[in-house]
Amino acid sequence: GENVEQHPSTLSVQEGDSAVIKCTYSDSASNYFPWYKQELGKRPQLIIDIRSNVGEKKDQRIAVTLNKTAKHFSLHITETQPEDSAVYFCAASIGGNNRLAFGKGNQVVVIP
């Protein structure tokens, strides 16, 4: 199958705390895993991505980890700020043309 599952669906955190979103995928051939942030009515913005040849990648307050054996990858946001509030989508590449299958999204609310 080509399913990408994302948990939890909503997440509320206090400002300054960390937020973690987890995704699982089913296609063992998937080799590219981006994370997108989407604010209401706006386009998805790529915030970080990881390829299957690495296990972890970090960019300032954002990090992504990948476990190929278990077929899951996670987004970690540290020192959350109110502007981190948005919907976050994970995705995994599928098929010979490397199109993306998206998770259902996670509404993150950072409480000031």
- Residue 92 CB, shortest distance to other proteins, in Å, is 11
Minimum separation from the CB atom of position 9 to other proteins (A): 10
CA-CA-CA-CA dihedral for 98, 99, 103, 109, to nearest 10: 100
Does a cis peptide bond (omega within 30 degrees of 0) precede residue 8? yes
Q: Is residue 25 within the footprint of other proteins (CB under 8 A)?
A: no
Binders of other proteins among residues 75 to 94 (CB under 8 A) are 89, 93
Q: Kindly write out the interface string for residues 26-65 of this chain, putting x where it contacts other proteins by CB under 8 A and - elsewhere.
A: ------x-x-x----xxxxxx--x-x--------------
Distance between CA atoms of 102 and 6, rounded to whole angstroms? 9
For residue 15, give both structure tokens.
């400002």
